Chain A
């Protein structure tokens, strides 16, 4: 056994992180779909020979915890039948996957005939067939409506492609060129990960590599345990809701009890709603990812390696048959929203234990707007936009106005690009004034966007939330404003449900406004100068400044009227508003 000193470990850590990032860059650069290229809904990682993760690229955090579950089922199925130049493919959520659109590609890495590592990539594919364009729809009610289900299969056997799988794929998806293109991008990334690991072994030797990799996982665990041990022991329960079950049904309850004891943490989701009819059911792996993400985000130590060691101090209790752990044949394609709401729920519980580390609720996750149809010349298209986001107020500063949810790394789609490539026109895109929750530290403003269809007829699928249950504030901060969706057609306007699948015609416009974020701390503690800045910039109206924050801004000068402010704030205090 070779000793790993802290110096060699740090060097190998850098090299592995660098390799996973290199994989991510390759995947991103060669990908075709807007989901991958603009929303960055993919991840890359490296695992050691037994499947435990040793590095993840700077990619979507919510994939972090999914790898162990996938690797476990891979081993269960293929055991010793894992050979050099094999490539495995999976998307089936009931075989270790997360939801149909996420295809996982795994390539074992061999050195002198011995398996030393795995290169793993996961990418959200634009369309894998199923009931509606984009495969994902909130009102899918069983997995069989959600597109092609791929259990663990060998896509390449000793370097030979299994063409029958490619043929089957092409026949089952709406835009084969895009799906195959993105699949190739995943293969390219695996290839690059393999090359990087082999380079590393060539330089340091196999023994040192394997020992450093295992040690890196232990080191991660030590870092996380040391930090959890520094938190006070205790338990906090938090409940939040989704507005609907995806098919127009009642609100869905999400509950978690987070318990810190010594150097470990338990997240118990008992009390969450039973499995729902719509496509909002999580796999256990996705729920575990949420907990990992939340704990990782409140650690003071910023530079924790992304390895399996992150999860060792965590225990997750999520009963099967509930919305946080669906059972066959639960539909799950739109479970992203459940993930986002669970993030809010777990953060809410953590806020009770670590008041200075957690932010109030943000917009509630991406809104998905999917417009799919055929161009005039006959080619099919799927326009897939993740609209996101805004941040809740924080213990020492305002929420970010217009920034993707911290559970995600999505980006918006440039208006000029959308209009050049799709029969779509974007009519407006910007902030909604007076939408951020009041507080000592204001919640971020909601974002609005409006699309007009220019050709023929198209399917429209929308996944949004936070209309009946707006984002919560913390420690006296007010909640944000609710989301809204309006369809403008010839005969007037129509408010659409938060989750909907419908059709629209050329000339019609869809307007969506996300929720505004919650505030942190009592509004009466807000700095008058900050309010005046908001008023000058049209982010908060003078009226709202007076009503919500008790700050009177003189219209002519834009300055705070000290006397009127004093009167107003006294009045608010006497009405029982907390100071």
Chain B
């Protein structure tokens, strides 16, 4: 199971809704890339085909592959498309509607036609059992085991393929839940059983139930997907470990991902941020990076501080992008599982530009998607999109893109923007296109602000790393808006997530709810929980072939002022927590509280600890100093007319490739690549650093 240290071929495969990106690093350290259309519903096909072709290209055999790291949206898609297993839920008597009642909240106000997403497990498959624990662990109603056989009968009758069990207070007192689980596993050996105390031992029944329900719902789908993948790999004599990217940014063995798929739902976006984090040390700036991943439909932002990722305790799958309120929620399936904190807005190349009834210019969140796509693709699109605007502005080249996957006709883009936007607004064509570009930036700013200023972080203390197909086009303008003077565009920006997969390590998280305050908030109490969680994690790593000394453990505690709504996660710096360490932790909490909210609360206000968390990591590799690509870099191209500045004219702008940027230069420049263009506005200095990043310095 263990990741081999020998110099062997490694593969990273990132499967998205539209494209599957596969990168392979050969035994000489050269990176091969392959971008192919995804192959739903058999997503593994594109991956397997790509690997076969790339092995052929590199003249290697399947047996030489030492590791495959994989980011997949298979589980997410199963939720979005409601294609999961027939799933049942067992709850404490009196509480079977908890899953469907959710937190009662509607995601948007003023919308009388909002409908709650139908529950993943419908009411007829939510079954109750007589039992009840109190919050203190008293048995109020003993588990009525005589009800269990009838329960199993009902599950079999209904053809249930997967079962979730979530009983009240099982996060701390799991005895009844475990007993139910044991019985079901014994009587229904082929049916996977997800226990809430195993998936998410945290207080709050809806959050725990929902997370366990999603896990159960996608489990058979993930299991069969990984099995097909494994069979396909075997067919190519590939016996290497298959590691799956989790939402929290670490890899986990395929067996674990099959059992707890809910931790791997946000696999793809996580990999890109992780790749940025891996480069954090080498790019300077104290490892403070805001990432921007802008593709066809969305722009995603995340923050890396001192090389550390920011985590979000929960998120929703399937929430519509226009319901982007971080307060309300309720539009999608709630998952309370650690994930990299990524803010998302509906602004990407396919975002549609239109005029509202009062003559306001809007961009997105509606997207023309891949079909019909931007007008300039000439695949039937009639409404102008952000990509059309970028083509009109001269930022994106015409002709063939990405090995001929896309052909761009600038004349159709011009016509669409002239007819639908510029004309009605009485603006010039270039002004209108620039307006669309800037409004998309303004929308994207909401994501960037929500990971920075909304968290009390000043963007000016960060550098911006932009990737995804549209990220490098918008990076300089966004950097200026944020007051960020340094922008990096990594090599292969369109394949950056796949690249991140190649260098990530294995990671496991453990958490336990507690409620420590006053006299019970003592260093020993926290230390005891941490030790138990650490021991459990180390034995999991041992089973995967890692020695204890290869595993790095990091602890943290969720702290809040007593009675407050939201906790702040504070890391535990020392291996052994003494009272002095506890004081230091409390001081860090208060400092962070002041930073986030501008005040420290009353000095006499007691603090309380809600949960202890431990993260274990092993087997990560830093990104190498340079990445040598097997793909030849493009030759020089003629100048292109591009528009900068609000009242000016388009000007002739030199077009170069990344490889041609051997000396520091100054914008205006357009750096064309395989699947993206980096726009360097006038006055911006640019060079390529030792890692191959395009490094722009904006004069402020």
Chain A positions near chain B (C-beta within 8 angstroms): 5-7, 9-11, 14-15, 18, 21-22, 24-26, 28-33, 36-38, 40, 57-59, 61, 177-178, 180-181, 184-185, 187-188, 191-192, 195-196, 199, 203, 219, 222-223, 226-227, 293, 296-299, 301-303, 357-359, 388-389, 394, 396-397, 400-404, 406, 409-412, 414-417, 419-420, 425, 427-431, 447, 536-539
Picked from A26, A403, A430, the residue with its CB within 8 Å of the CB of B106 is A403
Encode B97-137 as 1/0 by CB contact (under 8 A) with A. Answer: 11011111110111111111000001110000000001100
Contact assessment for A428 and B598 in the assembled complex, using a CB-CB cutoff below 8 Å = no
Contact assessment for A14 and B442 in the assembled complex, using a CB-CB cutoff below 8 Å = yes
Kindly state the separation between the CA atoms of A89 and B356 in the bound complex, as whole angstroms: 39
Picked from B111, B328, B362, B450, the residue with its CB within 8 Å of the CB of A297 is B111
Kindly state the separation between the CA atoms of A170 and B360 in the bound complex, as whole angstroms: 49
5 contacts between A and B (CB under 8 A): A32-B565, A303-B356, A406-B111, A417-B204, A447-B101
Q: In the assembled complex, how far is the CB of residue A508 from the closest CB belonging to chain B, in whole angstroms? A: 16
User: Restricting to B327-364, which residues have a CB under 8 Å from any CB of A?
Assistant: 327-328, 356-362
Q: Which stretch of B147-155, B380-388, B599-607 is in the interface?
A: B599-607
Contact assessment for B565 and A36 in the assembled complex, using a CB-CB cutoff below 8 Å = yes
Contact assessment for B362 and A30 in the assembled complex, using a CB-CB cutoff below 8 Å = no
Contact assessment for B601 and A394 in the assembled complex, using a CB-CB cutoff below 8 Å = no
Known A22-B449, A26-B596; judge A430-B435 contact (CB<8 A): no
Encode B439-450 as 1/0 by CB contact (under 8 A) with A. Answer: 100110110011
In the assembled complex, which residues on chain A have CB atoms less than 8 Å from the CB atom of B103?
411-412
Kindly state the separation between the CA atoms of A295 and B451 in the bound complex, as whole angstroms: 34
Kindly state the separation between the CA atoms of A18 and B106 in the bound complex, as whole angstroms: 19
In the assembled complex, which residues on chain B have CB atoms less than 8 Å from the CB atom of A297?
110-112
In the assembled complex, which residues on chain A have CB atoms less than 8 Å from the CB atom of B449?
18, 22
In the assembled complex, which residues on chain A have CB atoms less than 8 Å from the CB atom of B114?
400
Contact assessment for A223 and B325 in the assembled complex, using a CB-CB cutoff below 8 Å = no
Kindly state the separation between the CA atoms of A188 and B116 in the bound complex, as whole angstroms: 33
In the assembled complex, which residues on chain A have CB atoms less than 8 Å from the CB atom of B597?
26, 29-30, 185, 188, 192
Known A11-B442, A178-B563; judge A40-B106 contact (CB<8 A): no
Contact assessment for A196 and B453 in the assembled complex, using a CB-CB cutoff below 8 Å = yes
Kindly state the separation between the CA atoms of A412 and B100 in the bound complex, as whole angstroms: 13
Q: In the assembled complex, how far is the CB of residue B358 from the closest CB belonging to chain A, in whole angstroms? A: 4
Q: In the assembled complex, how far is the CB of residue B564 from the closest CB belonging to chain A, in whole angstroms? A: 5
Kindly state the separation between the CA atoms of A7 and B106 in the bound complex, as whole angstroms: 31
Picked from B105, B563, B601, the residue with its CB within 8 Å of the CB of A184 is B601
Closest to B356 in A: A301
Closest to B359 in A: A6
Kindly state the separation between the CA atoms of A406 and B561 in the bound complex, as whole angstroms: 32
Kindly state the separation between the CA atoms of A344 and B230 in the bound complex, as whole angstroms: 58
In the assembled complex, which residues on chain A have CB atoms less than 8 Å from the CB atom of B427?
5
Contact assessment for A184 and B439 in the assembled complex, using a CB-CB cutoff below 8 Å = no
Chain B positions near chain A (C-beta within 8 angstroms): 94-98, 100-106, 108-116, 122-124, 134-135, 168-169, 171, 203-207, 322, 325-328, 356-362, 425, 427, 434-435, 438-439, 442-443, 445-446, 449-450, 453-454, 481, 515, 561, 563-566, 593, 596-599, 601-602, 605
Q: In the assembled complex, how far is the CB of residue B436 from the closest CB belonging to chain A, in whole angstroms? A: 8
In the assembled complex, which residues on chain A have CB atoms less than 8 Å from the CB atom of B564?
29-32, 37, 181
In the assembled complex, which residues on chain B have CB atoms less than 8 Å from the CB atom of A298?
112
Picked from A22, A30, A537, the residue with its CB within 8 Å of the CB of B123 is A537
In the assembled complex, which residues on chain B have CB atoms less than 8 Å from the CB atom of A420?
135, 203, 515
Contact assessment for B101 and A40 in the assembled complex, using a CB-CB cutoff below 8 Å = no
Kindly state the separation between the CA atoms of A425 and B446 in the bound complex, as whole angstroms: 41
Contact assessment for A388 and B110 in the assembled complex, using a CB-CB cutoff below 8 Å = no
Picked from A22, A29, A31, A36, the residue with its CB within 8 Å of the CB of B453 is A22
In the assembled complex, which residues on chain A have CB atoms less than 8 Å from the CB atom of B357?
223, 226-227, 301
Kindly state the separation between the CA atoms of A186 and B69 in the bound complex, as whole angstroms: 47
In the assembled complex, which residues on chain B have CB atoms less than 8 Å from the CB atom of A196?
453
Chain A CB within 10 Å — which of B122, B439, B564 has the most?
B564
In the assembled complex, which residues on chain A have CB atoms less than 8 Å from the CB atom of B446?
14, 18
Chain A CB within 10 Å — which of B114, B360, B438 has the most?
B360
Q: In the assembled complex, how far is the CB of residue A381 from the closest CB belonging to chain B, in whole angstroms? A: 10
Contact assessment for B327 and A28 in the assembled complex, using a CB-CB cutoff below 8 Å = yes
Q: In the assembled complex, how far is the CB of residue B101 from the closest CB belonging to chain A, in whole angstroms? A: 4
In the assembled complex, which residues on chain B have CB atoms less than 8 Å from the CB atom of A431?
97, 100-101, 123
Contact assessment for B360 and A10 in the assembled complex, using a CB-CB cutoff below 8 Å = yes
Contact assessment for B122 and A428 in the assembled complex, using a CB-CB cutoff below 8 Å = no
Q: In the assembled complex, how far is the CB of residue A294 from the closest CB belonging to chain B, in whole angstroms? A: 10
Closest to A418 in B: B135
Kindly state the separation between the CA atoms of A431 and B124 in the bound complex, as whole angstroms: 13
Chain A CB within 10 Å — which of B114, B449, B450 has the most?
B449
Q: In the assembled complex, how far is the CB of residue B643 from the closest CB belonging to chain A, in whole angstroms? A: 14
